[in-house]
Amino acid sequence: MRPSLMKCMLLTSVLLVSTNSYATPPYQRLAGAADNDDPLIVAGYRAIFTCSAHFLMGRPLNDIKRIELVDVEGKGYPDPVIDEKRRLVFSSDPTGSITRVAAYRDSMGCTILPPHWQINDVPRLPYVSYAQAPNVSQLAFPDGDKTNLPASGIDPRYAKLNKVLDQAFDGITHAKKPGTITTSVLVIKLDKAKGGQLIAERYRKGFGVHSGYRTWSTSKSIFAALMGIASRQGLLQLDQPVTIPEWPEGDARKAITYQQLMWMSSGLYSGGPNSAAVYFGGQDVISAATGTSLEVKPGTRWQYANNDTLLLVRSLRHLLNDDLHFLRFPYDELLHPLGMYHTRMEVDHLGTFVGSSQTYTTARDLARFGIFLANDGVHKGHRYLPEDFIRFVSTPAPTKPPVANEWGYGAQFWLLDTMPDIPKGTFTTFGNKGQYVTVVPGHDLVIVRTGVDPNGIEYKQDRLVADVLKALSH
């Protein structure tokens, strides 16, 4: 039976879930160690996704169930309950013994509460106010939202892109197996005078210019840019050991460098990309990331790991040495200068950005980020990134040399130039379920694709890029 709002409200006087049955509760496990199928994790997944989609972008629950929750529907979980007045989302397990809560704040987005927190703990969540998005409806893209595209979404000069976009949305052409769900595709040509010209833009029914998406691991690339900015500001040197205050003197982990973390070559235990305890369980970033042990010598093994990115986040918070400055840093130093006013980098309950995954944004804001990358980290004549930074992130990591017909890896970015028909130097973000911002330097192109591909069904961004290039060459 679907829980009533009244039932959820009664939980304010008790713990949200008991964890006594766990030797190590799922929300307290090291990065990479949680069970994605644990009811506590699944209920948290449903709460945080519903919260972000509804309160940030105004999406209705029925649509959220079809899109964001598609992989966790049909398992006996009751519908999440949205409390509009208090801006909370409650999500229970099939037995009703576990209820998870996600809380929304205007400037902060959504945060999943730890299971042991009570509803009256919500005011304890970190908060800072950011500038509201200005009215840019009459400003030309990328500074604003105005474009000259016709109803088809295709600049008439590039009419051959119409077929490519049709294929991008058909769920088959660019899929490893049928079933991909594309929500947006944008194609931008760089223009030295205008910054970037939107030549193609299409959305899935129910989505549009201001529809938001969880970027998943595309967030890693955004945070990489923040580390580049911090480097240019003199806060750190990428080839120097990372500063993690939780690691004592003499700890072998203190030899790990910033660039090794960016290369996914820390040598730390990871358990792979799974960070469910942090993302959905309510574990805090710092304890999850800093508690992992060293398995091999730093710089000797490539292993994709959310934990390596989370350590970068932890280090930046320490280096800034001011929680307010830390919370404002992404917005003041990158997002708002680029006009990415519809982007939110969500935090854990202790105020640390979940920088490996939980950035919520729009396709156009992703396009603005892509233009910034394509312009070598320069925006309106001001250099934000070090001069060699884009070359650094788009060069193969030493521990992952290029292999023909396989995606390569740089520094928090993926490399596509070993794939058929892809120009040299092409690099991309890659977020779970198909979030891509791809830069094709030799052709002055940025290609954005977002989606909600079901688990196990992967969108082939390299084929979309190749097809776009082919269409533009004729």
Identify the CA nearest to 146 among candidates 137, 133, 156: 137
Strand partners, 414: 409, 428
User: pLDDT of 95-137, one tens digit each?
Assistant: 999 999 999 998 899 999 999 999 999 999 999 988 778 888 8
CB of 448 within 8 A of CB of 366?
Answer: yes
CB of 429 within 8 A of CB of 409?
Answer: no
Task: Look at domain 135-236+280-286+306-474 and name its CATH class.
Answer: alpha beta
pLDDT value of position 3: 41
User: pLDDT of 185-224, one tens digit each?
Assistant: 999 999 877 689 999 999 998 899 988 889 999 999 999 9
User: pLDDT of 354-393, one tens digit each?
Assistant: 999 999 999 999 999 999 999 999 999 999 999 999 999 9
Distance CA 109, CA 55 (A): 8
Quick count: other Cβ atoms within 10 Å of Cβ 247?
16
Quick count: other Cβ atoms within 10 Å of Cβ 205?
7
Residue 20 pLDDT grade (very low, low, confident, very high; cuts 50, 70, 90): very low
Q: CA triplet 180, 307, 409: central angle to 5 degrees? A: 60
Distance CA 224, CA 329 (A): 13
User: pLDDT of 226-277, one tens digit each?
Assistant: 999 999 999 999 999 999 999 999 999 999 999 999 999 999 987 666 788 9
Mean pLDDT for the stretch of residues 162-173: 97
Report the interhelical angle of 323-330 vs 306-320 (nearest 10°).
Answer: 120
- Amino acid letter for position 267: G
Distance CA 185, CA 163 (A): 13
Could you give the residue ranges of the DSSP H alpha helices within 197-298?
218-232, 258-262, 276, 285-290
Read out DSSP for 151-167?
Answer: TTSB-GGGTTHHHHHHH
Model's pTM, two decimal places? 0.93
Identify the CA nearest to 261 among candidates 314, 208, 211: 314
- Amino acid letter for position 15: L
CB of 223 within 8 A of CB of 353?
Answer: yes
Q: Write down the domain spans for the chain.
A: 5-124, 135-236+280-286+306-474
CB of 332 within 8 A of CB of 317?
Answer: no
Distance CA 274, CA 293 (A): 16
